[in-house]
Amino acid sequence: MFHYASRLRAFAAVMFLGLAVSACGYNTIPTLQEAAKAQWAEVENQYQRRSDLIPNLVSTVQGYAKQEKDVLTAVVEARAKATQTKIDVSQLTDPDKLKQFQDAQNQLSGALGGFGRLLANTEAYPELKSITNYQMLQSQLEGQENRIRVALRDYNEAVRVYNTTIRTFPDAIGAKVIYGAKPMVPYEAVTPGAEVAPSLEGKI
């Protein structure tokens, strides 16, 4: 009888411990963290796809706008900086690291916007508007900007859910004691309008 009661108490203790750990976000916290990291990977993927479109765009345009070398150079240089600026998922809690990435991408967005304003001068480049390859690249780039905005929205939502969880009782206990979890940084536009897609029609 004694051994039975002892085993019963041990079983109850294990069950209580399991429930306590579960209530403290033992599984929830890493699950939400991985979800946010996956959304960040999608953000990087969509920015990379935008970057991959730019060389063909520059190649197509420069034959018709050779005199606009400075603008084309600005786009190429901004693309190189944006491509080289990386952030590891372990750095998503570091506002400075994320800001470096944001600054590089916003610089490229600004260069593309200036590019668009230049090409909007149809009197100077009327023939460019009729080139099929240019029209296709224009459409692809604008579509890509839309995909970037969706990826950023999804990332920010995943970060919001994760940050709320690690700050809310009882999950906050597990976040601090078990994981030492830190809030992740949402992606915010560094400059007003930077989250808006640059357009090759010259409207930002």
Would you say residue 69 lies in a domain? yes
- The per-residue pLDDT for 12 is 39
Mean pLDDT of the chain: 80
Mean pLDDT over 141-159 rounds to 95
Q: How far apart are CA 166 and CA 184, in angstroms?
A: 10
- The per-residue pLDDT for 199 is 53
pLDDT tens readout for residues 127-139: 776 677 888 888 8
Residue type, 2: F
Would you say residue 194 lies in a domain? no
Reply yes or no on whether the pLDDT at 191 is more than 50: no
Residues ≥6 apart with Cβ < 8 Å to 188: 102
Q: Which residue has the higher pLDDT, 66 or 143?
A: 143
Token couple for 30? 């890493």
Q: Binning pLDDT at 50, 70 and 90, where does residue 121 land?
A: low
Measured between alpha carbons, how far apart are the two ends of the chain, in Å? 79
Would you say residue 42 lies in a domain? yes
pLDDT tens readout for residues 7-22: 544 433 333 334 344 4
pLDDT tens readout for residues 52-69: 999 998 888 887 777 778
Would you say residue 188 lies in a domain? no
Would you say residue 164 lies in a domain? yes
Q: For the chain, what is the domain count? A: 1
Domain that holds residue 100: 2-179
Would you say residue 157 lies in a domain? yes
Residue carrying structure tokens 């606009």: 68
CATH of the domain at 112: 1.20.1440.20
Whether residue 75 contacts residue 54, with contact meaning beta carbons closer than 8 Å, is answered with: yes
Q: How far apart are CA 195 and CA 191, in angstroms?
A: 8
CB atoms within 10 A of CB 124: 13
Would you say residue 186 lies in a domain? no
